[in-house]
Amino acid sequence: MGKRTAGTCYFKVAGKQLEITGGVEAPLSDKERETIKPGYYSEKDKTPYVKVDALFTPDFPIDDIVNGTDMTITVDFANGKTYVLSGAYIVGDASTTGDDGKTSLTFEGRKGSWQ
């Protein structure tokens, strides 16, 4: 029997669900390691983030996304896992395109956790 690992995801920003195209990315770890010499490594904290491709619908919450500095982002993945990013804010260039009606968004925050 097969198990679903990909497919429909649900994405909420500050309690408002966005229509997305399936492109969602969240880190699996909050640490970044680099090998110094085989068997030895350095470790530093990684900034928690979420990247998403959303549809620019008529009810798209522009003000909430652009002005929010302490948002909660919730991503429900098709495999049953949920990633929650707290203290979130938008980073980079938040823009949309008229030809495909999409907007690529990157959020960073204080804490990311898998549930």
92-101: per-residue pLDDT in tens? 988 888 888 8
pLDDT given for residue 77 in this prediction: 83
Residue 34 lies in a domain: yes
Tokens of residue 92, six digits: 């980079």
- Please give the single-letter amino acid code of residue 107: F
DSSP 23-67: EEE--S-SEEEEEEETTEEEEEE---EEEEEEE--TT--HHHHHH
Residue 24 contacts residue 50 (beta carbons within 8 Å): yes
Residue 66 lies in a domain: yes
Q: What CATH number has the domain bearing residue 84?
A: 2.40.30
Residue 4 lies in a domain: no
The closest alpha carbon to 102, from 72, 60, 66, 71, belongs to 60
Q: In total, how many domains does the chain have? A: 1
Q: Which residue range(s) make up the domain with 27?
A: 10-114
Residue 42 lies in a domain: yes
pLDDT given for residue 43 in this prediction: 95
Residue 104 lies in a domain: yes
Residue 39 lies in a domain: yes
Residue 2 lies in a domain: no
What whole-number percentage of the chain has pLDDT above 90? 46
**Model confidence over 55-104: pLDDT tens digits?**
888 988 998 898 999 999 898 887 888 899 999 999 998 888 888 888 88
pLDDT mean across residues, the chain: 87
- Please give the single-letter amino acid code of residue 49: Y
Residue 90 lies in a domain: yes
